[in-house]
């Protein structure tokens, strides 16, 4: 995957590259063999990856719910977890209806997918609810560490044109002037799910009354 929905067909590109070189016919055959192996075993690989992510995200959500202050220094890990979960969910949705006879159907039918979706939404809600913690942490980090480090780098440059020096000095000045007030801005509310009734996810609202079965 390059970015969003743009993916690089690595096997096809590699085959074409080696095919354009003399004496690399064996390498083309090796790449084709790797491609067949990836196609056959990709279902099992992604099934195991979803199982790992489900346990990892469950533990991460429990830790951050108990200690939300860790969202500041660990924000990158949260975003990585959200990104990996999204990629695995997208992969399953796109491949679940294209199971061939050479593949194992069990690898494309995940009965625990709802649990992964639940913890994914819990993490998303935690990030939104405690976004001020993340903002304050990184504002202070920019002003007290990154600004000083960038200033040292500029001073140690042996050759630096005047225009570039002015621009980088402006960066240092801007970073150094950051204040905590800029890290306490209230973020917008989470958008509501299209077609769903009630308040957006993560916002307070009345709980639906469950009707007893007859």
CA 129 vs. chain centroid, Å, equals 18
Q: Are 91 and 168 in contact (CB under 8 A)?
A: no
> Is 171 inside any structural domain?
yes
pTM, 2 dp: 0.69
CA 13 vs. chain centroid, Å, equals 26
> Is 199 inside any structural domain?
no
Count Cβ atoms within 10 A of the Cβ of residue 171 and give its class: 0-12 exposed, 13-18 middle, 19 or more buried: middle
> Is 38 inside any structural domain?
no
> Is 99 inside any structural domain?
no
153's CB contacts (< 8 A; 6+ apart) are: none
Q: Are 173 and 146 in contact (CB under 8 A)?
A: no
> Is 202 inside any structural domain?
no
Can you give the residue range of the structural domain that contains 150?
A: 131-191
Count Cβ atoms within 10 A of the Cβ of residue 186 and give its class: 0-12 exposed, 13-18 middle, 19 or more buried: exposed
Q: Are 175 and 142 in contact (CB under 8 A)?
A: yes
Domain count, the chain: 1
188's CB contacts (< 8 A; 6+ apart) are: none
> Is 142 inside any structural domain?
yes
User: Whose CA is closest to 11, among 40, 32, 39?
Assistant: 32
**3-state class (DSSP) for residue 6:** strand
What are the pLDDT tens digits along the chain (214 aa)? Answer: 666 667 788 888 888 898 888 888 888 889 889 988 888 888 889 999 999 999 999 999 999 999 999 999 999 999 999 999 999 998 898 888 877 776 777 888 888 999 999 999 999 999 999 999 999 999 988 888 888 888 888 888 888 788 888 888 898 888 888 887 765 655 555 554 444 444 333 343 443 444 444 4
> Is 213 inside any structural domain?
no
- CA 61 – CA 19 distance, rounded (Å): 48
> Is 13 inside any structural domain?
no
């Amino acid at each position: 995957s390059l970015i969003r929905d743009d993916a690089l067909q690595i096997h096809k590109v590699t085959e074409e590259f080696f095919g354009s070189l003399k004496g690399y016919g064996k390498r083309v055959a090796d790449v084709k063999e790797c491609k067949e192996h990836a196609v056959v075993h990709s279902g099992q690989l992604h099934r195991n990856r979803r199982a790992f992510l489900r346990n990892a995200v469950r533990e991460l959500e429990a830790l951050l719910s108990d200690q939300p202050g860790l969202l500041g220094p660990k924000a990158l890990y949260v975003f990585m977890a959200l990104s990996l979960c999204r990629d695995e969910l997208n992969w399953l949705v796109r491949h679940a209806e294209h199971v061939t006879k050479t593949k194992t159907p069990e690898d494309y039918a995940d009965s625990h997918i709802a649990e992964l979706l639940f913890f994914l939404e819990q993490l998303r809600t935690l990030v939104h609810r405690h976004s001020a913690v993340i903002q304050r942490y990184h504002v202070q980090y920019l002003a007290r560490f990154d600004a000083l480090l960038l200033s040292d780098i500029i001073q140690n440059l042996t050759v630096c044109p005047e225009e570039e020096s002015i621009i980088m000095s402006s960066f240092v000045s801007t970073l150094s002037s950051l204040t905590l007030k800029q890290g306490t801005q209230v973020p917008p509310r989470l958008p509501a799910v299209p077609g769903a009734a009630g308040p957006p996810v993560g916002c307070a609202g009345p709980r639906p009354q469950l009707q007893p079965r007859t």
